[in-house]
Amino acid sequence: MPVSIPSGVSVTVADNVITVKGPKGELKQAVNPKISVEVKDGEINVTRPSDEIECRSMHGLYRALIHNMVVGVSEGYTQKLELVGVGYRATSTNQILELALGYSHTIQIQLPSEVKVEAVTDRKSNPIITLECADKQLLGQICAKIRSFRAPEPYKGKGIRFVGEEVRRKAGKSAKV
């Protein structure tokens, strides 16, 4: 299945390295020499030499990576995290995200320059961290790192979760009769 190139995005292939440039930035990806990538007629075609298991899996992987790069540089990716818990706070200044998560100290994270961060705290609602980036892999990695500081727990539901995520709740201890 070919990947269509939207207007404003340019794709070049040289020495098994694909470079995608667009309004949101520039991304590069090295491709295995077994997989061939061609750009023509506003589409990117990824082909494999044979139907071996290794070639089929790499074919799907590189096609998905290239599609994510094209979408990232044209539209970008956004992820929202919600801090659920009493006293949990988030503030952002420049590329530093500061989290108060119930520990004896605050946690400060230096984010890469490619990622835009915004922390919003409204009264009567949970703090929300909004992260934007053109690189889907980098964004997912940073979200996983932030979430690992206080993963949602099943008894009270406290922790850092994605907006709209359902946390499976467990019943607590039952009293002896």
CB 129 within 8 A of CB 144: no
What pLDDT score does 123 carry?
85
Residue bearing the bigger pLDDT, 106 or 174? 106
Dihedral angle over CA of 101, 102, 104, 110, nearest 10: 0
User: What strand order describes the sheet that includes 10-14?
Assistant: 10-14, 17-22, 25-30
Confidence check: pLDDT of 129 > 70: yes
Read off the pLDDT band of 166 (50, 70, 90).
confident
Identify the CA nearest to 45 among candidates 97, 1, 99: 1
What pLDDT score does 70 carry?
92
> Average pLDDT, whole number, for the chain?
89
Confidence check: pLDDT of 93 > 80: yes
Q: What residues are paired with 22 via a beta bridge?
A: 25
Looking at 31-40, 73-82, 165-174, which range is the least confident one? 165-174
CB 82 within 8 A of CB 162: yes
CB 116 within 8 A of CB 127: no
What pLDDT score does 172 carry?
81
Residue pLDDT, tens place only, 57-85: 899 899 999 999 999 999 999 999 999 98
Read off the pLDDT band of 169 (50, 70, 90).
confident
* Rounded Cα–Cα distance for residues 166 and 139 (Å): 21
Looking at 1-5, 26-30, 88-92, which range is the least confident one? 1-5
